[in-house]
């Protein structure tokens, strides 16, 4: 009976529902290719019913831990870790917290969906192997799942009303990069990089804004286009994702959209500078074809002398 059973996407979802249901026990009806409550099973045909994979509260807890470990958003990662360590109302607190950000909630359900479907497919193939049958691939393609960024964020060219916000966030970005420096030093770095740079609303500036479906400002990329003898190069002055929206792939989506927009404006080269902690992201952009132009190092002179004297 297992030989004729095919694990379609619909059937996999039925199995997952039965596994997680706490109000009744479900079994797989191999003859009808469906999941039914055990009290509705035909008592005279027990060989047609298969027990579903076991799913306990501890399994759900472990899955939440795995998700938090993959979450790059520092704010929600630490909040969720604290919830998991609290030991009180963990499942309800976890659910309520991820619901605060639609993007985080979608990321969680996508993570959970992929894990559970993989678990069910492995269980089904174990059944087949126990009867000497070959393993089968599930009859669905993960690429059918719409990308999180396409659902929850949209990108647009900045308008005049965004200029003040962009300037404020540009300052915030410098403060964040140089958080351990003297404020006067931070200002010197900013002055050097902004001297002679057109404002975000100047004609040479191209600013792409990333926002949520509710039009909440989430990220921006600010580039200034320079032209000489027909050559056009865009220098990215700022590339900033607000802390609440990090770790969701928004930066990548914003960058791809900016590349498309700059190409429409006949830009032949884009130069992107990474500062401070952002340098860790440089390697991830190299896989998109970007190459290294320079490396800038900083030396804390007083600290260096102290270490030499020791």
Tell me which DSSP letter residue 226 carries: E
Cβ partners under 8 Å of residue 119, min gap 6: 53
Rounded Cα–Cα distance for residues 66 and 94 (Å): 13
Q: What integer pLDDT is reported at residue 149 of this predicted model?
A: 60
| Token duo for residue 295 | 């490396």
Q: What integer pLDDT is reported at residue 139 of this predicted model?
A: 53
* Fold held by 150-302: Aminopeptidase (3.40.630)
Q: What integer pLDDT is reported at residue 114 of this predicted model?
A: 87
Q: What integer pLDDT is reported at residue 199 of this predicted model?
A: 94
Other beta carbons within 10 angstroms of residue 248's beta carbon come to 25
Q: What integer pLDDT is reported at residue 278 of this predicted model?
A: 76
Closest to 65 measured CA to CA, from 102, 100, 108: 108
Q: Residues in the chain with pLDDT < 50?
A: 141-146
Q: What integer pLDDT is reported at residue 151 of this predicted model?
A: 62
Q: What integer pLDDT is reported at residue 310 of this predicted model?
A: 57
Rounded Cα–Cα distance for residues 59 and 68 (Å): 14
Q: How many residues does the chain have?
A: 310
Given a contact cutoff of 8 angstroms between Cβ atoms, the answer to whether 157 and 220 are in contact is: no
CA 281, 287, 288: angle at the middle one, nearest 5?
Answer: 100
Q: What integer pLDDT is reported at residue 146 of this predicted model?
A: 40
Q: What integer pLDDT is reported at residue 203 of this predicted model?
A: 94
Q: What integer pLDDT is reported at residue 225 of this predicted model?
A: 97
The tokens 């500062």 sit on which residue? 275
Q: What integer pLDDT is reported at residue 276 of this predicted model?
A: 82
Cβ partners under 8 Å of residue 61, min gap 6: 84, 90, 91
Rounded Cα–Cα distance for residues 197 and 170 (Å): 13
Q: What integer pLDDT is reported at residue 138 of this predicted model?
A: 61
| Token duo for residue 150 | 């396409």
């Amino acid at each position: 009976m297992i030989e004729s059973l095919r694990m379609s996407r619909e059937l996999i979802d039925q199995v997952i529902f039965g596994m997680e249901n706490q109000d009744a026990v479900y079994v797989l009806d191999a003859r009808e290719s469906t999941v039914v409550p055990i009290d509705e099973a035909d008592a005279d045909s027990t060989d047609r019913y298969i027990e579903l994979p076991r799913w306990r509260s501890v399994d759900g807890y472990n899955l939440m831990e795995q998700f938090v470990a993959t979450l790059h958003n520092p704010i929600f990662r630490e909040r969720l870790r604290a919830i998991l360590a609290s030991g009180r109302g963990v499942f309800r607190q976890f659910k309520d917290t991820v619901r605060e950000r639609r993007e985080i909630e979608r990321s969680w359900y996508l993570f959970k969906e992929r894990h559970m479907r993989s678990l069910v497919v492995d269980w089904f193939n174990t059944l087949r192997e126990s009867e000497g049958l070959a393993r089968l691939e599930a009859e669905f393609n993960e690429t059918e799942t719409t990308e999180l960024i396409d659902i929850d964020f949209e990108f647009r060219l900045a308008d005049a009303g965004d200029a003040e916000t962009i300037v404020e966030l540009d300052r915030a970005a410098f403060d964040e990069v140089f958080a351990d420096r003297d404020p006067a030093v931070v200002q010197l770095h900013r002055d050097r990089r902004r001297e002679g740079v057109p404002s975000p609303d100047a004609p040479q500036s191209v600013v792409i804004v990333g926002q949520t479906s509710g039009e909440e400002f989430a990220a921006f990329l600010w580039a200034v286009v320079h032209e000489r003898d027909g050559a056009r190069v865009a220098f990215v002055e700022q590339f900033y994702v607000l802390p609440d929206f990090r770790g969701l792939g928004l930066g990548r989506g914003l960058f791809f959209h900016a590349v498309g927009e700059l190409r429409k404006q006949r830009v032949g080269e884009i130069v992107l500078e990474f500062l401070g902690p952002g340098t860790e992201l440089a390697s991830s952009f190299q896989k998109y074809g970007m190459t290294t132009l320079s490396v800038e190092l900083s030396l804390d002179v007083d600290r260096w002398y102290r270490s030499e004297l020791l």
